[in-house]
Amino acid sequence: MSSDTFLPVPLDAELKSQLGKIASTIRVLSMDAIQKAESGHPGLPLGCAELGAYLYGHLLRHNPRSPDWINRDRLILSAGHGSMWLYSCLFLAGFGLTVEDLKNFRQLHSKTPGHPESFVTPGVESTTGPLGQGVGHGVGLALGLKILAKKFNTEDFRLINSKVYVLAGDGCMMEGVSAEASSLAGHLNLDNLVVFYDSNDISLDGPLTDTCSDDTKMRYRSYGWEVYEVNGHDFEQIDKAVRQAIHHQKKPVLIIARTTIGKGAPTKAGSAQAHGSPLGEEEIKKAKMALGLPDEKFYVPQAVLTFFQERLSESTQLEGEWKKLFENWSRTFPEKRKEFDTMLKGSLPTDLETQLTNLSVKTPTSGRKASQEVLQLLADLSPQLYTGSADLSSSDMTTLKKFPIIGKDHMGGRTIKFGDREFGMATCAVGLDQTKMILPVVGTFLAFSDYMKSGIRVAALMRSKIVYQFTHDSFFLGEDGPTHQPIEQLAGLRSIPRLHTIRPSGVHEVKMAWVAALFYQGPTAIILSRQNIREIPETFVPYAEGMGRGGNIIRQEKRQADITLLATGSELPLSLDVADALEQIGKSVRVISMPCWALFDQQPESYRHQLLGPSAGKRVSIEAASEFGWHKYIGSDGIAICMEDFGASAPPSLLAQEFGFTVEEILERILA
Residue type for 357, please?
T
Please count the other Cβ atoms lying within 10 Å of the Cβ belonging to residue 359.
15
Q: How far apart are CA 627 and CA 567, in angstroms?
A: 12
Alpha helices in 463-604 (DSSP H): 489-494, 507-519, 571-584, 597-601
Backbone angles phi, psi at 326, to 5 degrees: -65, -40
Q: What is the DSSP letter of 407?
A: B
Burial (Cβ within 10 Å: 0-12, 13-18, ≥19) of residue 419: middle
Residue type for 295, please?
D
Give the C-alpha distances (Å, rounded to integers) separating 192 from 56, 141, 151, 571.
Answer: 18, 10, 16, 48
C-alpha torsion 230→232→233→238, nearest 10: 60
Strand order in the sheet with 226-231: 74-77, 164-169, 193-199, 253-258, 226-231
Q: How far apart are CA 178 and CA 508, in angstroms?
A: 39
Q: How far apart are CA 158 and CA 451, in angstroms?
A: 38
Compute the half-sphere exposure of residue 140: CA atoms within 13 Å on the CB side of its CA: 40
422 is catalytic: yes
Compute the half-sphere exposure of residue 82: CA atoms within 13 Å on the CB side of its CA: 34
Picking from 492, 490, 500, the residue whose alpha carbon sits closest to that of residue 465 is 500
Pairing of strands 193-199, 253-258: parallel
Q: HEC string of 21-88? A: HHHHHHHHHHHHHHHHHCCCCCHHHHHCHHHHHHHHHHHCCCCCCCCCCCCCCEEEECCHHHHHHHHH
Q: How far apart are CA 53 and CA 20, in angstroms?
A: 7
Do 627 and 636 meet the contact criterion of CB atoms below 8 Å apart? no
> 372: Cβ–Cβ under 8 A, 6 or more apart, which residues?
397, 398, 399
Picking from 152, 170, 177, the residue whose alpha carbon sits closest to that of residue 162 is 152
Pairing of strands 589-593, 552-555: antiparallel
Could you tell me the end-to-end alpha-carbon distance of the chain, in angstroms, rounded to an integer?
A: 75
Q: Estimate the share of the chain in helix, then strand, then coil, as percent rounded to the nearest 5.
A: 45, 15, 40
What is the CA angle 134-437-382, rounded to 5?
130
Q: How far apart are CA 127 and CA 355, in angstroms?
A: 36
Backbone angles phi, psi at 406, to 5 degrees: -70, 135
Q: How far apart are CA 274 and CA 270, in angstroms?
A: 7
Length of the chain in terms of residues written: 672
Q: How far apart are CA 132 and CA 137, in angstroms?
A: 9
Do 605 and 623 meet the contact criterion of CB atoms below 8 Å apart? no
3-state secondary structure of 497: coil
Catalytic residue among 422, 535, 557, 571: 422
Q: How far apart are CA 478 and CA 647, in angstroms?
A: 9
* Residues with active-site annotation: 422
